Each structure stands twice: as structure tokens, then as C-alpha cells.
Amino acid sequence: FIAFERLNSPFYFHLSEVELNFSIELKKEIIRSTVHLLTLSLIAKILSFFVRIACARVLSAEAMNYYSLTMPTTVFLITLGQMGLPSAVSKIVASRRDYTPVLKASVLLSVINNLLLTVFFMLVIPLLAAVVLKQQVLIPVLRAVVPIIPLVSISGLLKGYFMGRQEIIPPTACQISEEITRILFLIGCFTLMPTTDPVKMASIAVFSMSVGEIGSIVHLCIALKRKKRVLHHVSTLTGSLHWDTVNELLSLSLPMTGSRLIGSLTSFLEPMCLVLFADVLLQQQLITTYGQLNGYIMPLLTLPSFATIALSNWLLPSFTYQASRHRMDHARRQFFQIGLCCLFIGCASGLTLFCFAEPICQLLYHQTQMVPLLRSLTLPFILYSIQPCLSSVLHALGRSQKAMIDTTCGCLTRLACVSFLTIPLGTQAVGIALVSGMLVTTVLHLGRVLRCLFQDEKAILLPQA
């Protein structure tokens, strides 16, 4: 009787119409935000690619080798400096109204962590260059990395704050400001202060990353000012701070940075293994191949990642919403749609690079010596396009630890290939190690996702909404 009266009530139809209009507007807002996100990400990716091309054209081969040898160390330090705090801040800010204690704790932890990390890195730079990398000339290049450690942490916290407020435009648009600032700095340095010293050229290229981060921070601060949302709580940092907040922040940040830290550590150890397990005659050839891989080839192979990562970021909340309500048919359909879309993007990019590798390299880099290695990696790397999608689904299903185990297996495979195949295969070991590690991680991710979706549906670690 109650249901009959509700169905015959004019207020029920009015409420249903309001809910329908709200749902339509929400879908339009999601589509609009996704289009803006993809557009800004595409512009930032093009500018970042332009920076890579400019460095490849301006830097000499020796300077590019020094730059490439320093990049794994830079990525590793950035991961340690951020310590997963931006993601933790984003999650807590989104779920709380009073997030002032979280901001205090995040700033305090970031300051302490960056001070300790910067001092420690400054002390070990000579040892790292002389003993580990066996390149004494890398000391000035490694010193140019130091400023980026605190700058990336500051920009990361600001981006996490905006993402927690569900404002995706400022943290995405600031990447454009970052790349433009970096481009202007490189043009100014190499135009006003031309140099042929490979060490100075590599140092300028590395330091340009810090200048770009300054541009990103300025953009985010201007966005805060426009929103009239100034973080005045930082000035009261020394006030009351509960350790429960710090523990909560660490409990979220440390697991979130696990997979990224493992990948960064692998990139950090890989050039060391190349140098340590090769004889003197082979070292220079390996350094040259490694420089080509990171300086010329990887930007081309990872070019479609802006689209696949954006789609995967959209898949994570959508898949979680459906799975938490036990609508697994809808969740599976979304996964396969996004997965096939990512695979199509990867196939289109891979086949284009395979068929037109030489003219593309000649157009972008004015060099073609990296074409054989590029063609050998292009087709296997198509599967890399679905890895972000698989990772998002694993996180949505509560399998973050399993995803970290898969990443660890792939990284160990990559390091093992570099260590044991360098002597018998020479420079070919670099490409084999990259592909092997990527395939192991992707295949393990795919197996876990399919098993969860079709065999262990009842074991999905999501509460019912």
C-alpha cells in the first residue's frame, strides 16, 4: 500500500525527475572534466616531449649519456622526498572537513624528510659518482639534482591538496607552466651562455627540472590566491600536533609509495649493474646504449601514456563504485571497454613507430642510430599500454599489496637480465631487460585481475555501499 501510494504521488514523480536531471548533469560534468583533463594532459605531454627533443638536439652524445645516468638517481630521490605524502593528503582532504591537522603533519614530515635526505645525498655524492657509477665527472651533475628534492615535495603537497578538493584543473594545468618555464630556461642558458663542455650541458639540463618545478609552484600558488584559499595554517605549524594524525598520514603514505619506490629503485640500480658487471671495453658501449634508450627511445615508447593513464584514473573510482554495489557485470564491462581502448591506443602508437621509426627519429632528433633498438622494443611494448588499467583495477579490488608484489617481480627480472646477460649479449641486454621486466609485471597483473573478476568475486575486499 505504501509503495502504491508513493507511486501515485505527484511528489514522487517530481523527485524522480530531479534525480534524473541531477544524474544527467553529473554525467555531463564527468565528461567535461575528462575532456579537460585529457586536453591539458596532452598539451603537457607535447611540451614535455618538446623538452626531450630540445635536449636531444642541443646536448652532445656525451652530455646526453651523463644526463641519462643521472636520471634514475633523480627519480629515486624524488620518490623518497615525496614519500607518498601527496596521495595521502589528497585522500584525507577529500574525506574530511577539518583537514588542518593533516596539512600541519604533512608539512612537518616533508620538511624533516627533505632536510635529512638532502644532507645525506650531499655527503654521498662523491662516493656515488666515483665508486658506484664509476664516473668522477658526474659530481657537478649530481649536485644539480639537490634543489629539486624540496621543490618537488612542495609542489606535490599543493597538488594533493587540490586533488583532495576535487579540483583537477590546477594540478594538471601547472604541468604546462612547468614545461614552459623549463623550455624558456633552457633556451636562455644555451643561447646566452653557449658551452661545449658535456658536464656543464648535462648540469644545465638537470637543473632545468628545478626551474620547472618553481614555475609549477608559482602556478599553484596563484590558483590558491584566485580561489581565496590561502593555506594560512602553515604559519601555525608549531602549534598543537597530535601524533595520531602523523601515524594516520604515514599509514596511508608509505603503502601508496611502495610500487613507485620499487620502480625508482630499479631505475637507480640498473645503470650501476650495467657498469659493475661489464668489462672496461664494454662499459662505454653500454653507457651509449643506455643513453639512447632513456634519452631518445623511452619518450617515444611512452608517448601514449598520457591517454592510458588518464583513462585508468577515471576507471579507478568508477570501477570501485560498481564493485562496491556488487554490480560486477557493469564493472567487468567498464574494465574491458577501458582496457580495449588503452590497447587500441598502444597498438596504433606501436605500429606507427615500427613502420616509420627512421623518418620519425630523423624528424625529431636528426639522428637515426637508435632506430634498430627502437624497432625491437616497439611491438612488445604495446602490452605496456594496458598496465595502468590493470593496476587501477587491482587497487580498486583491494589488491594493492599484490600489485606491489607483481611490480617487485618485474623489477627483479629486469635487474637479473642486466646482471647476467650483459657479458654474453652485450648491449642487447639493455633492451631485453626492459621488455622482460615490463612483460612479467603486466602478465602477473592480468592474471590477478582475471582471477578476481571471474573466480574470486566473493573475495573482493570492498564493503557494500
Q: Given pLDDT bands bounded at 50, 70 and 90, which one contains residue 82?
A: confident
Amino acid 230: pLDDT: 46
Q: Given pLDDT bands bounded at 50, 70 and 90, which one contains residue 95?
A: low
Q: Is 224 found in the same domain as 87?
A: yes
Amino acid 120: pLDDT: 94
Q: Is the pLDDT of residue 232 over 60?
A: no
Mean pLDDT, rounded, for 216-223: 90
Q: Is the pLDDT of residue 7 over 50?
A: no
Q: What is the mean pLDDT of the chain?
A: 79
Q: Is 320 found in the same domain as 218?
A: no
Q: Is 313 found in the same domain as 299?
A: yes
Q: Is 451 found in the same domain as 423?
A: yes
Q: Given pLDDT bands bounded at 50, 70 and 90, which one contains residue 255?
A: low
DSSP-derived letter for residue 370 is T
Closest CA to 389 of 463, 322, 296, 319: 319
DSSP-derived letter for residue 196 is -
Mean pLDDT, rounded, for 389-414: 84
Amino acid 211: pLDDT: 93
Q: Given pLDDT bands bounded at 50, 70 and 90, which one contains residue 145?
A: very high
Q: Is 432 found in the same domain as 302?
A: yes
Question: Is residue 136 situated within a structural domain?
Answer: yes
CA–CA dist 294, 64 (Å, integer): 9
More confident residue, 254 or 67: 67
| End residue of a domain, out of 202, 228, 256 | 256
Amino acid 280: pLDDT: 64
Closest CA to 159 of 175, 146, 145: 175
Q: Is 202 found in the same domain as 278?
A: no
Q: Is 464 found in the same domain as 403?
A: yes
CA–CA dist 436, 459 (Å, integer): 31
Q: Given pLDDT bands bounded at 50, 70 and 90, which one contains residue 461?
A: very low
Question: Is residue 355 situated within a structural domain?
Answer: yes
User: By CB neighbour count within 10 A (0-12 exposed, 13-18 middle, 19+ buried), where does 188 fall?
Assistant: exposed
Cell of 465: 555501499
Amino acid 114: pLDDT: 92
Amino acid 96: pLDDT: 66
Amino acid 404: pLDDT: 84
Distant-in-sequence, close-in-space partners of 335: CB < 8 Å, separation ≥ 6 = 315, 319, 389, 393, 449, 453
Amino acid 400: pLDDT: 73
Mean pLDDT, rounded, for 271-286: 72
Q: Is the pLDDT of residue 257 over 90?
A: no
Question: Is residue 17 situated within a structural domain?
Answer: no
Q: Given pLDDT bands bounded at 50, 70 and 90, which one contains residue 5?
A: very low
Q: Is the pLDDT of residue 366 over 70?
A: yes
Mean pLDDT, rounded, for 227-251: 59
Mean pLDDT, rounded, for 74-99: 77
* Number of structural domains the chain divides into: 2
Secondary structure of residue 276 in the 3-state scheme: helix
- Long-range pairs for 375-380: beta carbons < 8 A, 24 or more residues apart: 376/431, 377/297, 377/301, 377/431, 377/434, 377/435, 378/301, 378/350, 378/353, 378/354, 379/350, 379/354, 380/435, 380/438, 380/439
Mean pLDDT, rounded, for 171-176: 85
Question: Is residue 352 situated within a structural domain?
Answer: yes
Mean pLDDT, rounded, for 238-257: 66
Q: Is 334 found in the same domain as 219?
A: no
Closest CA to 194 of 307, 81, 298, 59: 59
Cα Rg of the chain, angstroms: 24
CA–CA dist 199, 268 (Å, integer): 20
Amino acid 31: pLDDT: 64
What pTM was estimated for this model as a whole? 0.69
Work out whether the CA dihedral 122, 201, 212, 179 comes out positive or negative.
negative
More confident residue, 210 or 229: 210
Question: Is residue 218 situated within a structural domain?
Answer: yes
More confident residue, 136 or 152: 152
Q: Which amino acid is at 390?
A: L
Question: Is residue 18 situated within a structural domain?
Answer: no
Q: Is 67 found in the same domain as 198?
A: yes
Amino acid 288: pLDDT: 78
Q: Are the C-beta atoms of residues 58 and 191 closer than 8 Å to each other?
A: no
Amino acid 208: pLDDT: 92
Mean pLDDT, rounded, for 426-433: 82
Distant-in-sequence, close-in-space partners of 445: CB < 8 Å, separation ≥ 6 = 387, 390, 391, 394, 403, 406
Opening angle at CA 362, ends 360 and 363, nearest 5: 65
Q: What is the largest CA-CA distance in the chain?
A: 89
Amino acid 13: pLDDT: 45
Q: Is the pLDDT of residue 267 over 50?
A: yes
Q: Is 280 found in the same domain as 224?
A: no
| End residue of a domain, out of 231, 256, 281 | 256
Question: Is residue 37 situated within a structural domain?
Answer: no
Question: Is residue 85 situated within a structural domain?
Answer: yes
Q: Is 456 found in the same domain as 353?
A: yes
Per-residue pLDDT tens over the stretch 305-336: 877 877 776 676 667 667 766 778 878 888 88
| End residue of a domain, out of 256, 274, 293 | 256
Q: Is the pLDDT of residue 121 over 90?
A: yes
Q: Is 246 found in the same domain as 265?
A: no
Mean pLDDT, rounded, for 131-135: 77
More confident residue, 281 or 115: 115
Q: Is the pLDDT of residue 258 over 60?
A: yes
Q: Are the C-beta atoms of residues 164 and 178 closer than 8 Å to each other?
A: no
Q: Is the pLDDT of residue 148 over 90?
A: yes
Amino acid 87: pLDDT: 73
Q: Which domain covers residue 168, as residue numbers? A: 59-256
